Amino acid sequence: MKIQSSAVRLFTAGLLAFALAVAASGCTSETTPKQADATKTASQPVASESTQGKAIAAIVRKAMDTYQLRAAIVRVTKGDKVVTTQAFGNSMDGLPASTDMNFRNGAVAFAYVSTLLLTYVDQHKVKLDDTINKWLPELPESDKVTLKMLANQTSGYPDFETDDGWTAAFNTNPFQIFTYDQRIKYAFDRPMQFAPGTNWSYAHTNFMILGKILSMVGKAPLDKLLKKNVLDPMGLTHTAAFSSAYIPDPVLHSYSAERRVQLKIPDGSPFYEEATSFNPVWGNPDGAAETTTITDLTTTAQAVGTGKLLSKSSFHAMTDPNLLGFGQKQDGCLPSCFTQVDGYNYGLGIVRSGSWITQNPLVGGYGATEAYLPSQKVSIAVVTTFKEGAFNCQGVQANSSDILFRLIGAYTSPQDAPPMPKTQAPTGCH
């Protein structure tokens, strides 16, 4: 269970778990019985914005009971029209969640980093096939690993986050900051997972290195480069990077049981702690550990999903299902080595799920998903926090924000609903 307990902190753990479920049992873009119950009016014409908002609220409230959610904030847009923006539940006991609250955006920043990379490609500063020995020759296989391999998770570099030593260090003190050099050491204390470009495996290491290189290319700290070249041009007004666990007010508070296994809490014994101030800097490139709001999350979905800042060729390189069918299971690379399928295939810093372009971080007690359907110009953003009953006996929870996005997507776009997993993570520890 070491990998499973570690994987709960993966920024994409929820969708990775979804991908593994897809790989094992298949998935469907058709409405499942659970979807049909939550979205039984999906095939009916939507009469008004109020009607849509009420229907989405009903979906959210049912999911909050099913998946033991403490809070959920949801925003849906179609083109320039806001369909609904709503908050449900409590941030803290006695403090209701509100639509202006700030939260961590985790791997959504990977889409920003990839956008910056492709901006530099469009400016002819770099090429996707450039090998990284130009900047970091000391790294393993640096003359074979390319910028593209870092961005699409095919480098073969081990994920420092799955190292037992790193897991123990984090769980002992989740408030500490892990430096770039510390994370590099944890990553490369182990051998390469596979030869560069021959398989697929999710690794925070890739984006940590990519961020380092982009700061060298841009000759400035990554946070400044992202703000100037990505965040501001996208129109993001409440997304910012911090080098600590700081979150601006008002704060959506988070709660977790992810340290249960490491702390040897017996099965059936209560364990639940506030995780709002767990330090998130370890999971992103230096300068890309960010907070955001639900409004900026939908703006991001639309900007990334339309290629607002990119050339046509770079947009397709980022978002097309170029890895569909690529990758395979491999001994010593479980569970993160697997074949890319329609329900989950990785682009450059984004995930394709059916026709939807997504990211869905799960970090420090927060689950969040942003998604865009280009054919209907629909943006969906969801953030969730969890009650104690959401966690199983390994301290693992489903990324219910991702499930909520899929249920809402089935309602808003029944003819092109997001694929749904046939199996989902169990809840509760008894």
Delineate the domains of the chain, giving CATH numbers in brackets. 2-421 (3.40.710.10)
pLDDT at 118 over 70: yes
pLDDT score recorded for residue 421? 84
Check: CB of residue 255 under 8 Å from CB of residue 70: yes
CA distance 117 to 103: 25
Which residue did the predictor score with more confidence, 143 or 42? 143
pLDDT tens sequence across 156-177: 999 999 999 999 999 999 999 9
Separation in Å, CA 385 to CA 101, 328, 344, 380: 12, 33, 24, 17
CA distance 22 to 210: 29
Q: Tell me the average pLDDT across 66-92.
A: 97
Token couple for 278 = 């767990």
Which residue did the predictor score with more confidence, 309 or 41? 309
Q: Which stretch of DSSP H or E encloses residue 2? A: helix 2-7
pLDDT at 127 over 80: yes
pLDDT at 14 over 80: no
The residue assigned the tokens 């095939």 is 43
Closest of 277, 283, 404, 191 to residue 6, by C-alpha: 283
pLDDT tens sequence across 329-350: 999 898 899 999 999 999 999 9
Q: Which stretch of DSSP H or E encloses residue 368? A: strand 366-373
Check: CB of residue 404 under 8 Å from CB of residue 273: no
User: Quick one: pLDDT band at residue 50, thresholds 50, 70, 90?
Assistant: confident
Q: Tell me the average pLDDT across 336-365.
A: 97
Q: Tell me the average pLDDT across 11-20.
A: 49
Range of weakest confidence among 42-51, 146-155, 207-216, 367-376? 42-51
pLDDT at 405 over 60: yes
pLDDT at 13 over 50: no
Q: In whole numbers, what is the pLDDT of the chain averaged over residues?
A: 90
pLDDT score recorded for residue 36? 37
Intra-chain end-to-end CA distance of the chain, in Å: 18
